[in-house]
Amino acid sequence: EVKLVESGGGLVQAGGSLRLSCAASGFTFDDYAVGWFRQAPGKEREGISCIRRSDGSAYYADFVKGRFTISRDNAKNTVYLQINSLKPEDTAVYYCAVTRGWGLLDWQYNDWGQGTQVTVSS
């Protein structure tokens, strides 16, 4: 059973930074991609970035504009999302998910974590 556990969220002032972690376990296949998504209150879930486990290839949504960086540590089976220059509009629940495909469409992802709350105060 695939299990994903996010951590690292919290309350931060605008302009600050956070590093979110996604610890993954239970995979029975060799390669996959981990994506980060977020959902703000009253809004649809949106994809932020994804990274392939095998070669570290990464893809970012257009709105990221250099403030988000995805990375992985295969030895720890963990994927990170560094968020800099946080803005109040970044307030959301952040989720990680796994796909054997590639991209940022949430229907591509079969397994999801429980999410971690990020709240940015102005």
Q: Is the pLDDT of residue 14 over 80?
A: yes
Q: Which backbone phi and psi does 76 adopt, to 5 degrees?
A: -100, 0
pLDDT in the model for residue 22: 97
Half-sphere exposure of 52 (CA within 13 A, CB side): 12
Reported as a single tens digit per residue, the pLDDT across 39-74 is 999 999 999 999 999 999 999 999 987 899 999 999
Q: Which backbone phi and psi does 107 adopt, to 5 degrees?
A: -70, -15
pLDDT in the model for residue 30: 72
